[in-house]
Structure 1
Amino acid sequence: MAKIVVLTPSPSDPSYSSQWPQVLERLKEALSPEGFEVSTSPWTDHVQSAEGLRDYDLILPLLTWGYYTDYADWCRACDLWEAEGLPVANPARTLRWNSDKAYLKGLRDAGIPMAATLFVDQATEQNVAEAFDALGTDVLIVKPTISAGAWRTLRIQRGDDLAAAMRDAPQGAAMIQAYLPSIETAGETSLLFFGGALSHVVNKRPGTEGEFRIQVQYGGRYQALPQPPQGALELAQQVLAQFDDDLLYARIDMTQTDDGQWVLMEAELVEPDFYLASDPKAGARFAAAVKARI
């Protein structure tokens, strides 16, 4: 029987304690028909030594939520797992690269369409004030390049008191983006791929009027779509073509501009929720990809 371990959050981080166990159960339910032995272990137990991971046929870092609050250890862990040749999927070098949203600069330079974005070493009142004109917008999104789940993500409007608006601004490298108001109406669409093949499509919208965050913890509403909207699959495939590593899974998040162009929000290759509760196949394609990988 193949042995799989799903890496989970640090026991000292309660941020997602009400969410990740539910996601874990859906992953286990998907893998159960294939007869895998599935265990769990906090990723923080494997920063200094790889011994606790050597007996597994596959290591899934799918619940390493909150790694961005302990990023130095996260990078050390990824380097260790790669050096030790552990069977991590996705590859450890991909995990480290994708965990800093600065990777989006490379995709943008390769021609992937995305919202107008400035990458800065630190978000300050001055560079945020200048960004309104630089990006040609009256509303900005400011977020850390190392983050997830809309952590420390701000929406700032021209004319706001910047001192007050940036009280919880990102510390360190950040992205300043032109806000796309379509996120409030059309939402964000995610295409899920397993073993390089499209599995399912989920649309995510804010749960309350005026909200721009679509995560569950902010009331986001998710709906499965029978097929990708026109143009969405083409963008996802364009993004996936940029990656050299053999990916077990990928979630490509995108939205539309006011003129209907699809633009990339994120290429989630580290610890994305697969939204298996919205998958008509309940994760069967994921399990088949895992079986093929092992």
Structure 2
Amino acid sequence: MTEIAVLTPDPSDPSYAGEWPGVLKRLGEALATGGMTAVPTPWTDHIDSGEGLIGFPLVLPLIAWGYHRAHARWMQACATWEAAGAPMLNPPSVLGWNSDKSYLGRLAEQGVAIPDTVWIDGPTQADADAAFDRFGTDRIVVKPRVSGGAYRTLRLSRGEPMVGAPEGPAMIQPYLPTIESEGETSLLFFGGKLSHVVEKRPVPGEFRVQIQYGGGHVALPEPPAGALALAEQTLAAIGEDLLYARIDMARDESGRWLLMEAELIEPDFYLGSAPEGGRRFAAAVRTRL
């Protein structure tokens, strides 16, 4: 069996202790179908040196959770891995720029449709109040530019005080009510090829689709009309050598698909909904080996 390193959370951070072993198990089961064994190693053990990683034929950063709460260390680690020539996919350079959602602005400049967005440093109540008028809406979403799992993401109504605002660089977008009625759609790509599609929905009254907020997902037999075109346009605009990608999108009230995120670091692959339990992912990894 070929040993593949899988980056895992900081062992001193108890936030993820009950979750990541299950994710590692699912990844390990998928990799085993291609004759590979997943070897866990904390990403925080390799910030200053890549020596512990270059002995592996491949390193997958798929459970490097918590990087958004230690972003300076994450960027240092990405630079270390790139300089060491660590055989990492997705590449360390991608792991760096994809950790800051300002990349959405760059994709928009290339014609990729995203929600109307205001980019700010340290959002204030005045910023929020101005955004309502700019967007012509009564509800907005305020997000940190460096985030994960809807961390410190707020939904605000006009006149509502902004409590618990993100610190540092952030983004403000009009709220998409279709998130509640239709959910968010994710297209999973392995080796540049579409593997499967899932639809994620929040619980009633919630807008966050993540499982920690009660969200759930169902597999779709094929991408909804127009979704694949946006995903392929996004990947073409990114133009990077990617082993995997999860392209998250939602429709606005006119039915137009908008890119919400291109998850290229440690996305949930929803392997339980993948054909043959993730064999396509294992095949893509095996091809790279």
TM-score, normalised by the number of residues in structure 2? 0.98
Structure 1 unaligned residues grouped into runs of 5+: none
**What amino acid is aligned across from residue 65 of structure 1 in structure 2?**
W
Asked whether 1:277 is paired with 2:272, we answer yes
- Which residue is 2:46 aligned to? 46
Query: Which whole-Å CA distance do the structure 2 matches of 1:16 and 1:54 have between them?
Result: 26
Partner of 1:77, secondary structure, is: helix
| TM-aligned CA deviation for residue 275 of structure 1 | 0.7
One-letter identity of the residue aligned with 1:252: I
Counterpart residue identity of residue 90, structure 2: N
The 5-angstrom pairing of residues 131-142 of structure 1 reads 131-142=131-142
Match of 2:24 in 1: 24
Secondary structure at the counterpart of residue 64 of structure 1: coil
In structure 2, which of residues 228, 243, 255 is the aligned counterpart of residue 260 of structure 1? 255
2:61 aligned partner: 61
Of the candidates 240, 245, 251, which is equivalent to residue 240 of structure 2?
A: 245
Distance in 1 (CA, whole Å) between partners of 2:273 and 2:209 is 15
Give the counterpart letter for 1:173 in structure 2: P
Q: Separation in 1 of the partners of 2:219 and 2:134?
A: 37
Q: Does 1:104 align with 2:104?
A: yes
- Aligned to 2:14, what secondary structure does the other structure show? coil
Code of the residue aligned with 1:268 in structure 2: it is E
Kindly indicate whether the alpha-carbon contact (under 8 Å) linking 2:51 and 2:84 is maintained by their aligned counterparts in 1. Answer: no
**For 1:227, which of 207, 222, 225 is the aligned residue?**
222
Of 14-23 and 224-233, the range deviating more from structure 2? 14-23
Match of 2:258, SS?
strand
User: Secondary structure at the residue paired with 1:115?
Assistant: coil
1:109 CA drift (Å):
1.2
Shift of 1:16: 2.5
Q: Offset of 1:37 from its aligned partner?
A: 2.6
SS of 1:11's partner is coil
The whole-number CA distance in structure 2 between the counterparts of 1:104 and 1:74 is 20
- 1:174 maps to amino acid: A
Match of 1:183 in 2: 179
2:209 — aligned with what? 214
Which whole-Å CA distance do the structure 1 matches of 2:136 and 2:83 have between them? 45
Structure 2: gaps spanning 5 or more residues? none
1:113 shift after superposition: 0.9
| Residue in 1 that maps onto 2:85 | 85
After TM superposition, what 4+ stretches of structure 1 lie above 3 angstroms from structure 2?
Answer: none
Q: Please report the TM-score for the alignment, with normalisation by the length of structure 1.
A: 0.96
2:287 partner letter? A
CA contact (8 A) 1:117 1:135 kept: no
Kept in 2: contact 1:222–1:278 (CA 8 A) = no
**What percentage of aligned pairs have identical amino acids?**
57
One-letter code aligned to 1:3: E
Superposition deviation, residue 258 in structure 1: 1.0
After TM superposition, the structure 1 stretch with the greater mean CA deviation from structure 2, 116-125 or 15-24, is: 15-24
- 3-state DSSP class of the match of 2:233? helix
Aligned length: 289
> How far is 1:39 from its partner?
0.4
Q: Equivalents in 2 of 1:17, 1:276: separation in Å?
A: 20
1:205 corresponds to:
201
Q: Does 1:194 align with 2:190?
A: yes
1:173 to 161, 166, 169: 169
